[in-house]
A and B are shown apart, each in its own frame.
Chain A
């Protein structure tokens, strides 16, 4: 403002050199050149304080011109008209005294009229910031933030990017704009130049301030003017992109201050959301684990009940068969004479046999679940045990889980099927690997084209071989395989291609790896080809 004032005074002085001419005083109006100086100075000021609100500047200058034009001009006119130097001078003195007061009064009025609008939205922004902290859903919070920004500041658009740590990028979470912009899946990588600049800068900044090579490193379908980052400590949680103000006003210093405060509030709110979501997730995991544990506790009770029912079935169908047999034995002539009777009895015997068979199968299923749910102490230490027993158990459980009649699996254990390890953990490992193999095949069934579907014979193979010091278990499937870019993620914690609630009781590949490597001092690796299949290998030392 000082520059403008100074420039304006200079301009007036320069302009005032014209006045002597009016009164035939021969002083050449050299001061006119000062007018150009005035313009240059004002231009520099605007350029330097780019944030200046032109409206304010012109308003102030305008009021200044009007007031001082009046203050200085009027005495001259009076002098001209009346020729009385005394009257003119006293008028000039009065106005000179009143001038600044009038100026300040008018200026305040004008500015508050213009600024009311702006101060109003700054107040709203800050109030909204407080309200943000109560929103717990990050999607809704994102939409709220961009809505508030766009509405109250009256912008072309406002967009917010939120950090996605798992995928190492910043995802466009919400955008509000005048035009309809296609915004699905717009994201910036963690290592992008723009992100790096934001992290280094830490404060809100104008896009123009960035080095050209960074500006050129990304392209977004909207013209960004300002970037406002939100940090939690050293971590960049999110950042907001703002477009131009709709009525082409410039952003002022005050705006930037408000943005700084806003960004801190937003960071708080976003951190809150993330924490809320994480605690919800870990609560859900805890509930799931507790539920599983309580089911395990119930297993014995439930099994007992079911066994009693099965006992009834077994005795009833056994007696049915016995009754028919005994009758047939006692009255052979009746049976011979009446072929229909014989047929009927034969059929009833068949029914009885089928009932007995199915009782035995059901019993097998229950035994499998019980064995899995019951953790006997001895199974938590190292021992030598039968891999066949484990594999049968795992297969039974998978048949139940996937509600299928049978698994497309061949098991080749060789002559010696004993392995050495922690039985309870190896059960988990084998179950997990066979489950993954089965899921891979299911996935392939979904993706494969119709022609190929007919010729696709799903196959899982579990093979046990031995070397001098190791037992090697190979689980192979001809399912969907693993994509190149995902291979390094397979053993990462929390990585899964299945929805976690469907998998329920399973452990992830990460835990499998830890069991094999840390607890058994073994090795686990895989070979895979996308759409062809996967081979997993586990090497267990024969002794530890």
Chain B
């Protein structure tokens, strides 16, 4: 299982990748929208963990473009806003779930176990 983690803050991506590797999964990182789309074509992940608010390209836009490359890509959006609108936007674009910052790793572990590990 390959997961691509996208967030404009390097340390956040590092922590998340390390965490994912603990669970025995393969993780790759990207720190911008453009880099994410590049890495996506090369790495071909099964899941993408996407930060919604990024400086160059909006996370939702990135997801759209990834869907153009691989329509079946599954994603969890990471958002700072808890208001309904942003969440609905993400879900409408086909994201499976969303995480609200600050991320609770225990909560992420549960989601990964539910969605990803159970599919094995």
Contact = CB atoms under 8 A, between A and B. Distances in A.
Interface of A: 303-304, 307-308, 310-316, 318-319, 322, 326, 356, 359-360, 363, 367
Interface residues of B, number: 18
Interface stretch (B36-44, B60-68, B96-104, B112-120): B96-104
Most central of A314, A315, A322 by chain B CB within 10 Å = A315
Contacts of B16: 315
Given A304-B80, A311-B12, A318 B106 contact: yes
Contacts of B104: 314, 318, 356, 360
A419 B116 CA distance: 43
Interface string B1-33: 000000001011001101100100000000000
A311 B101 contact: yes
A359 B105 CA distance: 12
A504 to B, nearest CB: 26
Contacts of B15: 315-316, 318-319
Nearest to B105: A318
Given A308-B80, A319-B15, A363 B102 contact: yes
Nearest to B106: A318
B22 A308 contact: no
B53 interface: yes
A367 B80 CA distance: 11
B105 A310 contact: no
B18 A307 contact: no
Given A319-B15, A319-B18, A319-B19, A313 B53 contact: no
A359 B106 CA distance: 14
Interface in B64-120: 80-82, 101-106
A313 B102 contact: yes
Interface of B: 9, 11-12, 15-16, 18-19, 22, 53, 80-82, 101-106
Q: Is the interface of A mostly helix, strand, loop or mixed?
A: helix
12 contacts: A303-B80, A307-B102, A311-B101, A312-B9, A312-B11, A315-B19, A316-B15, A319-B105, A322-B19, A322-B105, A326-B22, A367-B82
Contacts of A308: 9, 80, 101
Contacts of A322: 19, 22, 105
A311 B19 CA distance: 14
A312 B16 CA distance: 10
Given A311-B102, A322-B19, A322-B22, 12 more contacts: A304-B53, A304-B81, A307-B101, A311-B80, A312-B9, A312-B12, A314-B105, A315-B15, A316-B15, A318-B15, A319-B18, A360-B104
B111 to A, nearest CB: 14
List of 8 A-B pairs having minimum Cβ-Cβ separation, nearest first: A318-B105, A314-B102, A315-B15, A310-B102, A311-B102, A311-B101, A307-B80, A307-B101
Contacts of B101: 307-308, 310-311, 314
A311 B105 contact: no
Contact of B103 (A303, A315, A326, A367): A315
A308 B81 CA distance: 11
A312 to B, nearest CB: 6
Contacts of B53: 304
A316 B104 CA distance: 10
